[in-house]
């Protein structure tokens, strides 16, 4: 292949790549229901998080960090975990991490909240790639209003992982606590935007 053919092939490849990149659809990271008056939410119940990780206590740790950081904002009152557990038991909810709209409405009446927050922990802990390691967290959260049980806010975040520095110099990445804090801060920033 001569130089002119190689350059022409490269130009065509770049043009096709740019055209495809321009056509790619970017989905929004956050859903906010425009009809919801978030200022009317004065108290919330944070449900146990759905844990899709291998670490059996990861969802409890992430939920605890989320509750503490949400309380620290002073934007809403967060019903204590024990009250939420009593409401779940009273309703005999089989899957409190993924309540139905009807269960959300009933729980809201029992624990006297305007919203219920649910979460899914998709990844938590150490990742490996070759000889490199790093900590990572990936999670999504939703807020459901308690009048109809519909979702009024939803967001997702991922933090940590294996960086180029970890691959080149080792080190194991950032501590899990710092990554979790950053992920929760990101979610709260998306809630109060």
For the segment 84-104, what is each residue's pLDDT rounded down to a tens digit? Answer: 999 999 999 999 999 999 999
If one counts every other C-beta atom within 10 angstroms of the C-beta of residue 9, the result is 11
Report the run of H or E that residue 136 belongs to, with start and end: strand 132-145
In this prediction, residue 105 carries a pLDDT of 98
pLDDT at 64 over 80: yes
Query: What fold does the segment set 28-191 form as a domain?
Result: Rossmann fold (3.40.50)
Domain coordinates in residue numbering, the chain:
28-191
Whether 61 and 51 have beta carbons less than 8 Å apart is answered as no
Q: State the Cα–Cα distance between residues 193 and 184, nearest whole angstrom.
A: 14
For the segment 139-160, what is each residue's pLDDT rounded down to a tens digit? Answer: 999 999 999 999 999 999 999 9
Whether 139 and 173 have beta carbons less than 8 Å apart is answered as no
In this prediction, residue 20 carries a pLDDT of 44
């Amino acid at each position: 292949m001569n130089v002119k053919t190689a350059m022409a092939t490269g130009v065509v490849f770049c043009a096709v790549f740019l055209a495809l990149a321009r056509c790619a659809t970017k989905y929004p990271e956050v859903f906010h229901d425009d009809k919801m008056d978030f200022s009317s939410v004065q108290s919330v119940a944070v449900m146990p998080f759905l844990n899709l990780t291998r670490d059996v206590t990861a969802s409890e740790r992430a939920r605890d960090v989320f509750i503490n950081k949400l309380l620290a904002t002073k934007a809403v009152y967060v019903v204590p975990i024990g009250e939420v557990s009593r409401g779940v038991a009273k309703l005999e909810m089989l899957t409190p991490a993924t309540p139905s709209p009807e269960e959300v409405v009933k729980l809201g009446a029992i624990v006297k909240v305007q919203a219920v927050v649910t979460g899914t922990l998709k990844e938590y802990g150490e990742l490996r790639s070759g000889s490199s390691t790093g900590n990572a967290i990936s999670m999504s959260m939703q807020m459901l209003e308690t009048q109809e049980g519909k979702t009024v806010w939803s967001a997702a975040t991922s933090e940590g992982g294996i960086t180029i520095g970890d691959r080149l110099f080792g080190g194991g990445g950032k501590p899990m606590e710092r990554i979790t804090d950053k992920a929760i801060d990101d979610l709260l920033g998306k809630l109060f935007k």
